[in-house]
Amino acid sequence: MQNHEAEAEYEAFVHARSAALFRTAFLLTGDRHLAEDLLQTALFRTARHWNRIHGRPEAYARRILYTQNISWWRARRHLHEQPLEPWHDRPLPSTDADLRTDLLAALARLTPRQRTVLVLRHVEDLTETQVADVLGIRLGTVKSTAREAAARLRAIAPELDPALHTRPGPTDLEETR
């Protein structure tokens, strides 16, 4: 493949999918700036290995999002940064503002791994087995992490609890009870 052709394909991919990838990145990090960094990292690595992953760039990019977020957390968990512009100071559009604020606050209280499992299960629609495979952890760890995430959400934002049960993930949500 000629380089300019590959570049054109990459640009098309970025144009088409970067917004969706950013949404996932935002949910994984709970922070806009971290989400931007995470997206840039994923897109850079995707470009770097474009020839090898040609044909399935989004799957690759998403996997980078999932794993890199946890890697960052592991590398930075001993640092306690104070964001200059806390996420809850941002204006959020219109309706259900309170619920979203609660939800973001609740997500922020989760660990990156808990948040990642939650997002993969309920937003990305992955099965527990797929989550275990993507994150490189055991199936039991996925289940226990999902249980802990649900328990913490209930404790932080009880009003979210019904929502959590309203629509199960692709497999049985027993672990969230």
Partner 1 sequence: MTLREDLERLADAVPAPPVDPTTWARARRARRRDRSIVAAAALLTIIGIGAVLVGVPGTPRAETASTSPVTGVPDRLRPVPPHVLESGTASGRGWEVTDDPAIGVGVAAWVQNARHPVVVGVDGDYHVLRLPGFLGDLWGEATRQDAGLTLSPSGTKVAYAWGDRGRDGVIDRSGLAVMNLETGRLTAYALKGAAGTAVSAIAWSPNEGLIGWEGQQFDAATPNGLSGARPVAGVIDYRLDDVGPSLDVAGLGAVSVDDAGTVVVAATGRLTSISGRQVSTRRFDGPSEPRIAASPRNAVGWSVVGAFNTRSLDYLDQDDRRRRVPLQIPAGTDWDIAPVGWNGYDAIVATREYADDGQVSSHLRAVDTRTGRTRIVGDAEVGGPTSGFLSIATDRIVPRAITVPAGPAPDWPAAGPGVAGLAWRVGLALALVSGLVAAMRRRRHRTPSL
- Interface positions with partner 1 (CB under 8 A): 3, 7, 10-11, 14, 18-19, 22-24, 26-27, 32, 35-36, 39-40, 43-45, 47-50, 52-53, 56, 59-60, 63-64, 67, 90, 92-93, 96, 99-100, 103-104, 119, 122-123, 160, 163-164, 166-167
**Nearest to partner 1 of 137, 160 (CB atom):** 160
Q: CB within 8 A of 72, min separation 6: which ones?
A: 34, 38, 112
Which helix (DSSP H) or strand (DSSP E) does residue 95 occupy? none
Q: Are 110 and 118 in contact (CB under 8 A)?
A: yes
- From the CB of 127, what's the least distance to partner 1, in Å? 15
Q: What is the DSSP string of 112-153?
A: HHHHHHHHHHHTS---HHHHHHHHT--HHHHHHHHHHHHHHH
With respect to partner 1, which residue has the nearer C-beta, 43 or 142?
A: 43
In whole angstroms, how close is the CB of 50 to partner 1 at the nearest point? 7
The residue among 7 and 138 lying less far from partner 1, judged by its C-beta, is: 7
Contact criterion met (CB below 8 Å) for 139 and 132: yes
| Cα separation, 64 vs 43, whole angstroms | 9
Shortest reach from residue 92's CB to partner 1, in Å: 5
CB of 143 to partner 1, least distance (A): 17
Name the residue nearer to partner 1 (CB basis): 63 or 143.
63
Q: Which two tokens stand for residue 171?
A: 């497999």
**CB of residue 11 to partner 1, shortest distance in Å:** 7
